[in-house]
Amino acid sequence: MKRTLLLVLCTLLALPALADEGMWLPSLIQSRIKEMRAKGFRLSAEDIYSINKASMKDAVVSFGGFCTGELISDRGLVLTNHHCGYNAIQALSSVDHDYLTYGFWAMSPAEELPAEGLFVRFLVRMEEVTDRIAAGETPDEIIARATAEGKGYRASIEQMYYGNQQFLFVYRQYDDVRLVGTPPSSIGKFGGDTDNWIWPRHTGDFSLFRIYAGADNEPAAYAPDNVPYRPRHHFPIDVSGIEEGDFTMIYGFPGSTQQYILADAVDYIQKCSDPVKIAIRTARLDLMGAAQQSDPALRIFYAARHAIIANPWKKWQGEVLGLERLRTAERKRAYEQAFEAWAADKPAYRTVVADMKQEYQRIIPIFFNLEVLSETLGTLPMPYPTAEREDPLFEARRPTERALWQLALNEYAELCRGERQLSAVREGIARWGSPDAYADHLFTLAADDPQQAELAELKQAIRTDIDTLRNQLGLKVVRNLHSARLNDLYAVYLRGLQEWDRERAFFPDANSTLRVAYGSVAGYEYADGEYHKPLTTLDGIIAKDDPTIYDYDIPQRLRDLYASKEYGRWGTWIDGRYTVPVCFLATNQTTGGNSGSPVLNGRGELIGLNFDRTWRSTMSDLEFDPTICRNIAVDIRYVLFVIDRVGGAGYLLDEMTLRK
Ligand code: ARG
Ligand code: ASP
């Protein structure tokens, strides 16, 4: 009876790595090759990752530490997203050379622009060091030895499965990276925040950089006579086009997922953390939005901040919808109960779930406090930097900035009460009579009297508070709802799960290390009776085009090309229309950090550039649903079309390896 019940529960509720779920470690990809080949992969594990010969990993880079990029020529040409290159492009821009607005195309190597501070990292190798550490070698010793192996080497040890396995990652970092080309924002950020996280999508979210090296091909600080880096491998480009069902593989650096967290943690995220953060950000975005509406100069000023606040804000909304739809917490709870029933007679695992729940009870208020701090007081400049205060625009910003201070103080006082509230804030509110009045006073100090000790004291009090809370969690860095004790418990829980749930293919949570995901080009049923096709085209861009709406105002050149149909070699017949493909959907599991990742076909050729996910799939960080989770990529043919026909930089195609 017990057995049968368990089996039924498992088949109904278990969350196995079915379909296209998963972000796999490249060095262990052999275990997935059979399934990948069944889906259309034509190469071997050695082609993906090898330390003996050139392999695909040699053409993938961590771009700046927060995105992914890929090599597309034997002269160090790197493709990544526009939103990944954004800061570098902005830093290189000026009023006279506004590359964000107008785009930029180097017409020769001499015109490429060094992007100061930008770096890329190649993975040299990865290896499991769990045993070495168990045998007494310290992580610091292992890292120091690996770093000494070569020029530009960096190393880190990362935990998989909450530390049940530890892996050494050795990287080689190149610091001379130059901007080669970028479309204008009206292509690279087409649709702006309106279309962000949304399908159908029409964003040409790409930019091009080049890695430079010393004459010996080794990493070197910027120097005018550095030469283009010669990679061990670069991706050939498949320009023959894609179809629904085609195999896709993504190779990149996903940032963070929490696949194995308990239902209690999901509940916190879905019912508390996300809604509270969404509400606070909605109010902030409203204030900025009103300012933007009122004054064109303010519209530009707040644009970047608005985008930074809106990106996670919109993601969280999709995440909540996705978790509700999937009933993730409910399903996880049933899964945990089934596990507990199995573990009842196993001393190693008997109490682990209960212990974790208890620890969650303890840390949720602490973590919530930290989240509230960072979403409220943590957003306030204490004081405003001199350059900002002296900016002529600062006068026009005052009412908005004052309102932002008031909002933050009110939200903080409301959400963080009693003992937890900073005494400085409690006293300030009492002294000035209300959060509004106190906020007003502080704003005036931050804007007009930046030397004031009171401001510095408040800032210090916030820092001390954060340190105290962090210590209560026992963590050096706080990221997700987590604590040192939870980490130990999860390590035990994961061992138990792996013993119990033998059908499930376990993959380690994303942690900014290199991963492989595979799947296929696929549309999905967005709503009852509403199927979303996996491919968009230039016709969709033209349909959205509207010179009166900032996000949808395309370059005249694109309108002209559409009118004349002079698409060159990039014109294609799709559903009876002569057009150019723009974006496509696939079933790969991706997350933040996967932006800029290569989307590859079964022969390891580039077919697209990953940059986003669809609205309700962002809960894939907690639970992946193959029926609805989709990643969004720019079709490589649109990238080449823009370089060639819009940018007039077709000469760059000569160094690429194009395949029909
Ligand atoms: N949502 C994508 C990712 O998380 C792209 C964001 C950039 N685009 C934008 N309109 N803000 O980062
Ligand atoms: N847009 C994300 C990034 O910048 C990717 C995602 O969350 O799907 O990495």
**pLDDT tens digit string along 402-453?**
999 999 999 999 999 999 999 999 999 999 999 999 999 999 999 999 888 9
What burial letters (b/e) apply to 160-175, b meaning 16+ CB within 10 Å? bbbeebbbbbbbbbbb
Cβ of 591 closer than 6 Å to ligand 2, yes or no, is yes
Can you tell me which atom of ligand 2 is nearest the CA of 613?
Answer: 8
Cβ of 69 closer than 6 Å to ligand 2, yes or no, is no
Q: Is the pLDDT of residue 201 over 50?
A: yes
Residue of 618, 566, 571, 569 whose CA lies nearest to 594 = 618
Residue of 9, 490, 47 whose CA lies nearest to 233 = 47
Q: Is the pLDDT of residue 20 over 90?
A: no
The answer to whether residues 228 and 308 belong to one domain is no
Residue 510 within any structural domain of the chain:
no
**How confident is the model at residue 10, as a pLDDT?**
44
Mutate to test the pocket of ligand 1, among 83, 187, 616 (most ligand atoms within 8 A of CB): 83
The answer to whether residues 588 and 625 belong to one domain is yes
Active site residue 83: yes
**How confident is the model at residue 550, as a pLDDT?**
87
Can you tell me which atom of ligand 1 is nearest the CA of 312?
Answer: 4
**Beta-sheet strands, E only, within 521-566:** 524-527, 530-532, 535-537
**Per-residue pLDDT averaged across 29-51, rounded?**
97
Contact predicate 571/578, CB 8 Å: yes
CA 479–ligand 2 middle distance (angstroms): 17
Residue of 446, 441, 443, 445 whose CA lies nearest to 430 = 441
Domain that holds residue 634: 515-659
**How confident is the model at residue 19, as a pLDDT?**
64
Can you tell me which atom of ligand 2 is nearest the CA of 632?
Answer: 8
Residue 104 within any structural domain of the chain:
yes
| 62, 483, 520, 595: the active-site residue | 595
Active site residue 74: no
Active site residue 595: yes
Within 10 A of 273 (CB to CB), how many other CB atoms are there? 22
Residue 553 within any structural domain of the chain:
yes
Percent pLDDT > 90 in the chain is 93
The answer to whether residues 456 and 539 belong to one domain is no
The answer to whether residues 302 and 363 belong to one domain is yes
**How confident is the model at residue 95, as a pLDDT?**
80
Cβ of 612 closer than 6 Å to ligand 2, yes or no, is yes
Q: Is the pLDDT of residue 237 over 60?
A: yes
Residue 504 within any structural domain of the chain:
no
Q: Is the pLDDT of residue 257 over 60?
A: yes
Can you tell me which atom of ligand 1 is nearest the CA of 196?
Answer: 10
The answer to whether residues 309 and 458 belong to one domain is yes
Cβ of 193 closer than 6 Å to ligand 2, yes or no, is no
The number of domains in the chain is 3
Rounded to the nearest integer, the mean pLDDT of the chain is 95
The answer to whether residues 53 and 168 belong to one domain is yes
Residue 401 within any structural domain of the chain:
yes
Q: Is the pLDDT of residue 7 over 60?
A: no
